[in-house]
């Protein structure tokens, strides 16, 4: 069965600092992995997705994530945080026999000036 664990429900960084949001997954088959972002009063929107073509995936707004099979991880990073990055971020896993994605509990990112 597929599952996702996001380590840290809240992460706070200073503007210009590195952003690192952690996601570990469990899957019985090679998974597809997604990161979504939710800004206040909006629905979730796709940041990036891993579909086995490349282990380093680049997304919108300067975010990227690296798939590490040996660590069952798909951590999200951004070299330099901007105030506009403040939002909630969700990691999700999908596998062929599951029929749907499973979402993590989310991580709220705060960016301090």
Partner 1 sequence: DAGVIQSPRHEVTEMGQEVTLRCKPISGHDYLFWYRQTMMRGLELLIYFNNNVPIDDSGMPEDRFSAKMPNASFSTLKIQPSEPRDSAVYFCASQAAGYNQPQHFGDGTRLSIL
Which of 4, 13, 36, 111 lies at the binding interface for partner 1 (CB under 8 A)?
36
52-111 positions binding partner 1, by CB under 8 A: 90, 92, 94-96, 98-101, 103, 105-106
Residue nearer to partner 1 on the CB measure, 56 or 113? 56
Q: Which CB, 11 or 106, lies closer to partner 1?
A: 106
Asked if residue 19 lies in contact with residue 81, where contact means CB atoms within 8 angstroms, the answer is yes
CA distance 39 to 2: 26
Q: Which of 13, 21, 27, 34 binds partner 1 (CB under 8 A)?
A: 34
Contacts of 98 (CB under 8 A, 6+ apart): 1, 2
Contact positions vs partner 1 (CB under 8 A) = 32, 34, 36, 41-46, 49, 51, 90, 92, 94-96, 98-101, 103, 105-106
């Amino acid at each position: 069965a597929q599952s996702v664990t996001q380590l840290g429900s809240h992460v706070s960084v200073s503007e210009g600092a590195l952003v690192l949001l952690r996601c570990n997954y469990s899957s019985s088959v090679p998974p597809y992995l997604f990161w979504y972002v939710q800004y206040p009063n909006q629905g979730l929107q796709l940041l990036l997705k891993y579909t086995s073509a490349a282990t380093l995936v680049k997304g919108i707004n300067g975010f990227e994530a690296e798939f590490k099979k040996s660590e069952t991880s798909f951590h999200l990073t951004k070299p330099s945080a901007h105030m506009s990055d403040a939002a909630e971020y969700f990691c999700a896993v999908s596998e062929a026999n599951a029929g749907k994605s499973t979402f993590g509990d989310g991580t709220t990112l705060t960016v301090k000036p």
